[in-house]
Amino acid sequence: MSLLKRVRRKVRKTINAATTTSGVPFAIDRAVFRRTATASAATSGERWHVLIAPPGGGNIGDQAMVEAYLENTSGPVRIVVRALGDIRIPAEQVGRATFTVLPGLIYGDGRAHLAAVAAFARLLAGARSLTVVGADIMDGAYDVRASARRADVTTLARLAGVDSRVLGFSWNGRARPGARRALARAGAAGTRLLVRDPKSVERARADGLANVAEVADAVFSARTTSATAADEYLGADPGRYAVLNASGLVGRSMDQVGEYEEIVRSLLDRGLIVVLLPHVVRASADDAAACRAVAERVGDPRVVLVTRVLEPAEVRGLVAGAALVLTGRMHLAIQAFWNCVPAITLSTQGKVEGLMQLFGTETLCVEPGPGLATRILPVAADLLARPDHHRGTIAGRLPAIVKLSDRNFAAL
């Protein structure tokens, strides 16, 4: 990206943040929504759930959350996406779930956004519920306006009398003012704010958010697994192996290739095969490029590079047999814990600490930065030396955490 484009993007984000905090954009959206909703008669016959999808587009964690939602709800679902291809509908859900493409609803400007708000009002005329996938995109850390709009569509749904919720999300304690005000408005309107770890619950309540309920991440309620990728990349009898993810997001702030080289060589010396697994594959934060760089640096045939975007069930099947997982992406850790496999996870966006608190595995949360290998290798050595202890700790907590996750889908 050129310097001029970066400057323009920064200026645009600054302006958007300021106007979002003012509350004026929501007032305009509310007027358009009310005018359209008044003119739209509720449809008769079978009604549908509406799901506002996360960005997706190569993010396996986003796909996993959508699939968990589909696996734990009943009845027709209309999934609102920015573009076709952002999210995939699993074969077993085709027919029940359909896409509604509204690129302007969360990310649009001017007339395109207001037209999307009107279309959203018409969509809600036949809705049983509205759910926004919250994850780590509600506190404005990535995009203040997009975070606020996700909260605001739930407030609009409440104005129309539609049950609304924000599906299991983190709250980093440093929320941008526009995002915080929008979510406070949503909670006050009756939107259920389903917060996915105890630290985030504490932060959300300290910030004055109402209607907060503690849950766990929606992916803990996933119901499917597949051995396809494990068989494809490792064969029927691979022996001991570890799964590592080099995150393109973490790679923005540190030179991680050398650190990962040291970690991979140590695991190879212990007799493990190392599988490098991208979990987000897109231009803005590409794990595929990060994992490829590690594989090329090590240059050992015992390092296996996954070269396609796996389905969430395939990820769960791949990590199921791993001795340990090391990841810069939290949803890969969640899918490891789903299998009672310990996952050393790099702390990002204030969201990992709460996950580890749920499991009593705080030592598995590691800060990124220089000296990463020095911090990780002793933790990895302990996991390999005491596998039954660590798996037992996770297995002991998992049933209660699955019950917390199931709360995301109450009455759906």
Residue 274: HSE in the Cβ half-sphere, 13 Å Cα cutoff: 28
Give the three-class secondary structure for 167.
strand
- What average pLDDT does this structure show over 35-57? 82
Q: Are residues 236 and 277 in the same domain?
A: yes
Asked if 126 and 42 count as a contact pair (C-beta separation under 8 A), the reply is yes
User: How many domains are contained in the chain?
Assistant: 2
- What average pLDDT does this structure show over 195-201? 95
Q: Are residues 390 and 264 in the same domain?
A: yes
Reported as type and span, the H/E element at residue 354 is helix 352-359
Q: Is the pLDDT of residue 13 over 70?
A: no
d(CA 51, CA 100): 10
Decide if 286 is inside a domain.
yes
Q: What is the pLDDT of residue 11?
A: 53
Q: Are residues 234 and 211 in the same domain?
A: no
Provide the pLDDT confidence category of residue 5 given band limits of 50, 70 and 90.
low
- What average pLDDT does this structure show over 87-102? 96
Q: What is the pLDDT of residue 371?
A: 94
Give the mean pLDDT of the chain: 93
Cα angle: 155, vertex 161, 167; to 5 degrees = 50
Range of the domain at 324: 228-404
Handedness of CA 379, 385, 387, 390 (dihedral sign): negative
- What average pLDDT does this structure show over 127-152? 95
Q: Are residues 151 and 234 in the same domain?
A: no
